[in-house]
Structure 1
C-alpha cells in the first residue's frame, strides 16, 4: 500500500502531559504536509490549533482521558467545550469500572449522550483493550455498535499495551458493519500500519509514521 494512502488514515497524535504549543504547532504543520486524517491533541490546545489549521486538517481531541472514570456529566461538558473550541472529532474513554461491574447499560447510555452532543461530528470510543478480557471486548463491540458511535478504538496509548493485530481481527468479527475501527498505541512502522489496515482498521492513531517520513528526507 502506498505510504500516502496510509497517511490519509492517520490521526497524527501528540497527547503527552508536557506537550508545548511549539510541539503542537509542529504536528499541525506535519499533518498539513503529509495530509493526515486529523491531528489528535489535548483539549487545552484545541482552540489554538483549530485557528492555526484553519480547516485544512480536522482537529481531534480526547475526552475522559486517559482513565475514563470521570462522571458522564463531566465528559459531556468536556465534549461541549471541545466542539465549541473547534474540535471536529472526539475520542472518548469508557468507564472501565463499569465494564468490570458488568454495567454495560451505563456505558451505552454515556456513549449515546456524547454522540447526541457530537451530532454529525465523529465520535470514537476507546475501550482500552489491554485491560479487558476477550469476552469483555466482544461485549463492548456490541455496546458500541448499538450506541450510535462512529468508531471503536483500541487504546489510549497510556496503559499497559497498545493495539494488536488480534484485537483488530476481533473487532472486525464482532462490530456491526456501520462501526469503523481505529488502532492506536505502539504502531511503529509502515508495515505494521498496512497490516492493521488490511485486517480492518480504518484509522491509525500514531505519531511515528510521520517521524519515519521526516527521517527519510
Structure 2
C-alpha cells in the first residue's frame, strides 16, 4: 500500500531538521512521494533517491495571483517531480469559471510536464462547484484531482454538509465522475487518513487498484498504513 502513499509534512512549525528526518523515513518506507512546503525543497532534494519530491504550491488557500502561481510552479518544477497546487478557491466560490480555467491552464502548463495534482478543497464545495471544477482540472491537463489540503475550516464545511476528512464515499464519487467523463485523471485523497483500514476502504472505493499513476493517499502518518 505504501507505493501509493504521499508522505506529507506540512505543518508551519516544522524545522529543517524535522523535515530532513521525514525525508529519511520516506526513503526507508519506500512511499510514492515526500511532500513538503516550498521552503524545504532545497534541503530535501539531496536526501531523496528512490522517493519522488512533491512540493505544495499556494498552500493552503490558493489565493495568489495567477502569474505568481505559475512562476512558483515553473521554479519548483526544476527541483520537484510532483507539484500539489491548490485551486483558486475564491474564484471557484465566486463561480468565475473563465478565470478559474485561465488560471489552471497557466499553472499546469508552467509545470513543464511534471506531475500536477490540483487540490480542489472538497470540504468547501457544493456539488455544482465540484463538478465544474473537476472538468476544468481535466481540461487544464492536470494529472490528479486531490481532495483537500487537510487544513479546511470545519465550521464552513459543516454549513455545506461536508466532512473535512477523507471518506470512501467522497473518493468513490470523484472516481465515478472521472470514469463517466472519460478523463485520464488520478485521485488523491488527503485529510484524516490515519489507519490501514481507512486507507484500504478508500482505495477500494476509488477502484483503480494500487497504481501510483492513478491513486494516491496523503498522510502525515505513513507508518500507520504499512
Relative to the length of structure 2, the TM-score reads 0.86
Q: Is the 8 A contact 1:62 1:90 kept in 2?
A: yes
**Matched-pair contact (CA < 8 Å) for 2:24–2:47:** no
Equivalent pair of 1:156/1:162 in contact (CA under 8 Å) = no
Given candidates 178, 193, 197, the residue that maps to 2:203 is: 197
Equivalent residue, structure 2, for 1:11: 6
CA distance in 2, matches of 1:114, 1:136: 20
The answer as to whether partners of 2:108 and 2:116 remain within 8 angstroms in 1 is yes
Structure 1 residues 91-130: aligned runs within 5 Å: 91-130=84-123
Q: Give me the whole-angstrom Cα distance separating, in 2, the residues matched to 1:83 and 1:48.
A: 15
Match for residue 190 of structure 2 among 175, 184, 190? 184
For structure 1, which runs of at least 5 residues remain unmatched after alignment? 1-5
**Contact preservation (8 Å) 2:169, 2:205:** no
- The answer on 1:74 being equivalent to 2:68 is yes
Name the count of aligned residue pairs.
206
**Cα contact 2:5–2:33 (8 A) shared by 1:** yes
Quote the Cα distance in structure 1 between the aligned partners of 2:29 and 2:131.
35
In structure 2, what is the equivalent of residue 51 of structure 1? 46
Q: Check the 8 A contact 2:87/2:120 in 1, yes or no.
A: yes
Deviations 1:56-90 (A, max 9, x none): 21110111110011111111121122123x11100
2:167 corresponds to 1:174: no
Match of 1:83 among 77, 82, 101: 77
* CA apart distance, 1:211: 5.0
Cα distance in 1, alignment partners of residues 63 and 169 from structure 2: 26
Q: 2:148 aligns with which of 150, 155, 168?
A: 155
- Of 52, 57, 62, which aligns to 1:63? 57
Match of 1:25 among 20, 23, 43: 20
Following the alignment from structure 1 to structure 2, what is the Cα–Cα distance between the partners of residues 211 and 46? 25
Mapped to 1, the partners of 2:225 and 2:199 lie a distance apart of 12
TM-score normalised by structure 1 residue count: 0.90
After TM superposition, give the deviation of residue 157 of structure 1 in Å.
0.6
Unmatched 5+ stretches in structure 2: 155-163, 209-214
- Whole-Å separation in 2 of the counterparts to 1:210 and 1:103: 41
**Alpha carbons 1:142, 1:174 under 8 Å: kept:** no
Tell me which residue corresponds to 2:29: 34
Q: Is the CA contact 1:80–1:117 (under 8 Å) kept in the aligned structure 2?
A: yes
